[in-house]
Amino acid sequence: MAAGIDRRRFLRFAGAGVAGTSVAGCMGGSQSSSSKKLQGGPLKIGVLAPEPGNNPIGASIANSAKLAAKQLNDDGGVLGANVEVSVKDTKEDPATGKRKYQELTVGEQVDLTTGVFTSEVQMNLMSSIAQQQTLHMSTGAATPEATRKVAQNYDRFKYYFRVGPVNSHYLGQNMVDFAKANFESMGWKSVAILAEDYKWTEPISKALTGSLSQAGIDVPINKRYAGGTQNFSPIYDQVANAGVDAAYVVMAHTGTSAVVQWHKQKRPFEFGGIHVPMQLPSYYKAVNGACRYAVTQNSATPTSKITKKTVPYANAYQKANGKYPVYTGYITFDAVKMYAEAVKQAKSKEAGKVIPKLENMSYTGTTTSSLEYYGKDHEYPHDVKYGKKYAWPVWLQWRETGGSGSQEVIWPENLASTKYQAPPWIN
Q: Rounded to whole angstroms, how far apart are CA atoms 408 and 398? A: 6
pLDDT one digit per residue (tens) for the chain, 427 residues: 333 333 443 333 333 333 333 333 333 333 444 445 788 899 999 999 999 999 999 999 999 999 999 999 999 999 999 999 999 999 999 999 999 999 999 999 999 999 999 999 999 999 999 999 999 999 999 999 999 999 999 999 999 999 999 999 999 999 999 999 999 999 999 999 999 999 889 999 999 989 999 999 999 999 999 999 999 999 999 999 999 999 999 999 999 999 999 999 999 999 999 999 999 999 999 999 999 999 999 999 999 999 999 999 999 999 999 999 999 999 999 999 999 999 999 999 999 999 999 999 999 999 999 999 999 999 999 999 999 999 999 999 999 988 899 999 999 999 999 999 999 999 7
Q: Rounded to whole angstroms, how far apart are CA atoms 61 and 185? A: 36
Determine if the pTM surpasses 0.95.
no
Residue 315 has a CB neighbour count (10 Å cut-off) of: 13
Residue pair 125/322 in contact (Cβ under 8 Å)? The answer is no
Cα 51 vs. chain centroid, distance in angstroms? 16
CA neighbor of 384 nearest in space, from 125, 169, 135, 155: 169
CA neighbor of 39 nearest in space, from 270, 296, 395, 349: 349
Residue pair 331/165 in contact (Cβ under 8 Å)? The answer is yes
